[in-house]
Amino acid sequence: SGELDENRLVEVLAGERDVFKRRGNPADYDTFLSNPINVKLVVDVSASMYRFGYDGRLERLLEATLMIMECFKGDKRFNLHITGHNGSSPKIDLVHPSMELDEATQLRVLESMVAHTQYTYAGDHTIEAIEVAVEESAPDTLVIAISDANLNRYDITLKDLKPLQSAKVHAHLIFIASLGDEAAALAKAVPNERAQGCMNTS
């Protein structure tokens, strides 16, 4: 058992299981089973993911989501929630802990994500999606929000990202695309290393 190692969030995105600081007896599996760790992945399925998909952002999102699902599949130590956000809604339920994440289910989730990017209204609910995820999560939940960093277009500023600093959960924003150096600048400006860039999921 252990505390989340927040310096290894990109590895979480890449599907790594061992991302917790070692503390006590690592073989104490019963503790994990009685107190599973809640993980909430909040994915960007906005129109810009499809419109600008030529740079690989949608493919990276699907790869990252698939790796997360495969990583936590059948692992009783974790409760995995996946929601989407786009111009139509700040919360689109995609995966909940009771779902069996077999290959057929994983495929349906990924197909649903692509469909949402194609048929959503233009607009952005990134901030609202993070707010909802933080508010609805149990204490100490790991909340990972994924965005293509198309934030300047909607006048989203550093101040708007304040929910990332919530003491209730471990909230982080990961940029998987960028217009110019927008993602790098935002990630650097967000306090406490609560934002990172991940432009390669391989």
Q: What integer pLDDT is reported at residue 15 of this predicted model?
A: 53
Q: What integer pLDDT is reported at residue 148 of this predicted model?
A: 84
pLDDT in tens, 70-116: 999 999 999 999 999 999 999 999 999 999 999 999 999 999 999 99
Q: What integer pLDDT is reported at residue 1 of this predicted model?
A: 45
**Cα separation of 127 and 165, whole Å?**
13
Please list the residues that pair with 3 across neighbouring strands: 21
Q: Which two tokens stand for residue 65?
A: 């989501």
Q: What integer pLDDT is reported at residue 153 of this predicted model?
A: 78
**Cα separation of 166 and 22, whole Å?**
24
Amino acid at 96: H
Q: Which two tokens stand for residue 150?
A: 């198309």
Contact call for residues 183 and 177 (beta carbons, < 8 A) = yes
Do you know the residue count of the chain?
Answer: 202
Q: Which residues contact 14 (CB under 8 A, 6 or more apart)?
A: 64, 67, 198, 201
**Cα separation of 113 and 108, whole Å?**
9
**Cα separation of 196 and 177, whole Å?**
11
Contact call for residues 164 and 195 (beta carbons, < 8 A) = yes
Q: What integer pLDDT is reported at residue 154 of this predicted model?
A: 79
Q: What integer pLDDT is reported at residue 164 of this predicted model?
A: 95
Residue ranges of the chain whose pLDDT lies below 70: 1-33, 201-202
